Amino acid sequence: MQRAIVGFVTDDEGDWVALLECGHRQHVRHHPPWRERSWVLSAEGRNGRIGTPLECPACDEEAADDEGGDPACWVGQVCPACGAMVTHGGPHRSDCPERASRGTS
């Protein structure tokens, strides 16, 4: 997910870290030939990147967590009429039509 750069700080090892609008941080290292970010080496270069979008892996991870996946695992354990968890003898809600038709609690 793209987030705007709002500032820069250095980490404990002296590497530059972009501060993103979402509150997360992302390293912006210049390590040729793997990463060509010579702009990070000067104050002018860094200042020129303020407002520039940068990929935020932390936001991507949070968005993936929000997509869920767990509810499908519970589908066979939920009463479709009342929404109560009814596995292992769990009770239906008092106004559940399934409860009345099965004579269960």
Peptide bond into 71 cis (omega under 30): no
Question: What would the pLDDT profile of 32-77 be if each residue is shown by its tens digit?
Answer: 778 888 899 999 999 999 999 999 999 888 877 665 555 556 667 7
Token pair listed for 1? 């997910």
User: How is the beta sheet containing 2-10 ordered, strand by strand?
Assistant: 25-27, 16-20, 2-10, 53-55
Helices (H), the chain: 43-47, 57-66, 70-74, 97-102
Question: What would the pLDDT profile of 2-11 be if each residue is shown by its tens digit?
Answer: 999 999 999 9
pTM of full prediction above 0.85: no
In the chain, where are the structural domains located?
2-66, 70-102
